[in-house]
Amino acid sequence: AVSDWLGCLFVGVEYSGKINQWDIQTGKMIATLEGHEGSISRLAISEQRGLLFSGSSDGTVGQWDVQTGQRTATLKGHEGEIFCLAISEQRGLLFSRERDGTVRQWDVQTGQWMATLKGHEGEI
Residues 8-24 have a mean pLDDT of 75
pLDDT in tens, 57-87: 888 999 999 888 899 999 998 888 898 999 9
Q: CA 117 → CA 64, 68, 95, 103, 109, distances in Å?
A: 24, 32, 10, 5, 20
Residue 94: how many CA atoms within 13 Å on its side-chain side?
28
pTM, rounded to two decimals: 0.85
Q: How far apart are CA 96 and CA 103, in angstroms?
A: 5
